[in-house]
């Protein structure tokens, strides 16, 4: 496995179905690969063989940590895929396959870039990122000492519509609220005596979208209705309807501030934070980080453009890792159609990222 190129490794990773919660096979594959690269391996299993991998090699006072998640979303609209999602397929200048952009190309890039790096390096490969980040949260809870000498975390998630000269140094946070609307049941024959909860909820949801801009201070905040439920029992006016509201929170907006504004839309509606197994994610931003000038110079030389920093309107395991207070940057490939059919990777960006990461690691050995 030591001799695999980044293209060959990507092919093997795409061929492994790692739709969460089925990450066991890809975890075992990566453990064998990292052992072949002489890494010391520790594992945090969250159940059913779903293994987070903590790897380290070398010695030193501080280490850089490369991060990737092993899971993918499911196959969306399988009938609309033009290729086999679990086979790396080249068409023109792109590769196609599930997870090829998000984020098996990033993992393939840094694992091959660092295989000959003689310095002190750490790797975290997590599970469940595409769900509720249970893998990353469990690692932080059970293995906090693993991060104590880490001074920079590099996540190789895709650029997500940005160019290859972009680095993500911040992300929004996320909350999900449950909305309950109570009506009054009545026989449909006496409809005027009832209160239609679905109709009332529909009005509330329309106002949420109409007032979206006034709900937030940050231009990065977002809101959407993610789930709706309600029905008539027999030939009756529906007495109960519910929905879930997903909110992405930029700096300046908080769970409390958004909840207060939602309650002002209709005080008769009950709104509460939805319970979940892991903590909700808060926003982060790192304006400075170790080796910033070095990384910027490499990108400008290789891409021909100055670095553009991106504050991303999405959440991920990077939000979890940012709670450590260690700078986190996202430095990845360029592709598209993540989380939908015909996910693709621009091959040129894959090669460029691999060369940039190789150069970065080579420069570190000269310090």
Domains of the chain: 6-172+283-365 (3.40.630.10), 173-273 (3.30.70.360)
Return the SS3 of 4: coil
Phi-psi region of 99 (alpha: psi -120 to 50; beta: other; left: phi over 0): left
Q: Which residues contact 292 (CB under 8 A, 6 or more apart)?
A: none
Q: Which residues contact 53 (CB under 8 A, 6 or more apart)?
A: 27, 30, 31, 34, 41, 42, 43, 70, 123, 124, 125
**pLDDT in single tens digits along all 367 residues of the chain:** 678 999 999 999 999 999 999 999 999 999 999 999 999 999 999 999 999 999 999 999 999 999 999 999 999 889 999 999 999 999 999 999 999 999 999 999 999 999 999 999 999 999 999 999 999 999 999 999 999 999 999 999 999 988 999 999 999 999 999 999 999 999 999 999 999 999 999 999 999 999 999 999 999 999 999 999 999 988 999 999 999 999 999 999 999 999 999 999 999 999 999 999 999 999 999 999 999 999 999 999 999 999 999 999 999 999 999 999 999 999 999 999 999 999 999 999 999 999 999 999 999 998 8
Q: Are strands 121-126 and 63-69 parallel, antiparallel or unpaired?
A: parallel
Structural contact between residues 22 and 11, judged by C-beta atoms closer than 8 angstroms: no
Q: Are strands 121-126 and 51-57 parallel, antiparallel or unpaired?
A: antiparallel
- Per the omega criterion (within 30 degrees of 0), is the bond before 193 cis? no
What gap in Å lies between CA 197 and CA 181, rounded to an integer? 6
Report the pLDDT value the prediction gives residue 47, as an integer from 0 to 100: 96
If you ran DSSP here, which 8-state letter would residue 19 be given? B
How many Å separate Cα 75 from the centre of its chain? Answer: 17
- Residue 255: name the closest of 282, 224, 220 by CA: 282
Q: Are strands 89-91 and 94-96 parallel, antiparallel or unpaired?
A: antiparallel
Report the pLDDT value the prediction gives residue 2, as an integer from 0 to 100: 74
- Residue 278: name the closest of 155, 129, 68 by CA: 129
Report the pLDDT value the prediction gives residue 157, as an integer from 0 to 100: 96
Report the pLDDT value the prediction gives residue 55, as an integer from 0 to 100: 98
Strand partners, 230: 241
The angle subtended at Cα 280 by Cα 152 and Cα 146, nearest 5°, is 35
Range 37-44 contact pairs with CB under 8 angstroms and sequence separation of 24 or more: 37/1, 37/2, 37/111, 37/115, 39/123, 42/143, 42/146, 44/135, 44/138, 44/139, 44/142, 44/143
Model pTM score? 0.94
Report the pLDDT value the prediction gives residue 161, as an integer from 0 to 100: 84
Radius of gyration of the CA atoms of the chain, in A: 23
Q: Which residues contact 124 (CB under 8 A, 6 or more apart)?
A: 52, 53, 54, 55, 65, 66, 67, 68, 136, 139, 146, 321
Tokens matching residue 58: 């070398």
Report the pLDDT value the prediction gives residue 77, as an integer from 0 to 100: 85
Burial call 200-239: b when 16+ CB within 10 Å, e when fewer = bbbebbeebeeeeeebbebebbbbebeeeebeeeeebbbb
User: 82 vs 8, 90, 99, 270, CA distance in Å?
Assistant: 22, 12, 15, 45
């Amino acid at each position: 496995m030591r001799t695999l190129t980044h293209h060959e490794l990507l092919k093997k990773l795409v061929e492994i179905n790692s739709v969460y919660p089925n990450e066991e096979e890809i975890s075992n594959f990566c453990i064998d690969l990292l052992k072949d690269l002489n890494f010391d391996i520790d594992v945090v299993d969250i159940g059913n063989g779903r293994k987070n991998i903590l790897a380290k090699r070398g010695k030193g006072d501080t280490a850089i940590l490369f991060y990737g998640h092993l899971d993918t979303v499911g196959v969306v609209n399988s009938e609309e895929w033009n290729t086999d999602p679990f086979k790396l397929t080249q068409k023109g200048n792109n590769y196609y396959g599930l997870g090829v952009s998000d984020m098996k190309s990033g993992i393939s890039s840094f694992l091959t870039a660092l295989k000959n790096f003689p310095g002190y390096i750490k790797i975290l490969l997590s599970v469940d990122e595409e769900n509720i980040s249970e893998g990353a949260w469990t690692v932080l809870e059970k293995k906090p000492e693993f991060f104590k000498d880490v001074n920079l975390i590099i996540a190789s998630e895709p650029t997500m519509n940005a160019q290859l000269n972009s680095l993500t140094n911040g992300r929004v946070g996320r909350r999900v609220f449950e909305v309950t609307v109570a009506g009054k049941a009545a026989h449909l024959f006496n409809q005027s005596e009832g209160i239609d909860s679905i109709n009332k909820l529909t009005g509330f949801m329309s106002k949420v979208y109409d007032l979206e801009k006034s709900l937030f201070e940050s231009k990065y905040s977002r809101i959407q209705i993610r789930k709706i439920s309600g029905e008539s029992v027999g030939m009756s006016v529906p007495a109960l309807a519910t929905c879930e509201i997903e909110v992405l929170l930029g700096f300046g907006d908080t769970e409390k501030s958004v909840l207060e504004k939602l309650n002002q839309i209709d005080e008769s509606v009950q709104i509460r934070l939805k319970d979940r197994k892991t903590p909700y994610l808060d926003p982060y931003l790192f304006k400075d980080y170790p080796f910033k000038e070095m990384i910027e110079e490499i990108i400008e030389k290789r891409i021909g453009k100055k670095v553009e920093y991106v504050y991303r309107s999405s959440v991920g395991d990077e939000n979890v890792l940012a709670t450590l207070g260690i700078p986190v940057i996202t430095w990845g490939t360029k592709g598209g159609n993540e989380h939908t059919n015909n996910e693709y990777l621009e091959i040129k960006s894959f090669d460029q990222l691999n060369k940039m990461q190789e150069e970065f690691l080579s420069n570190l050995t000269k310090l």
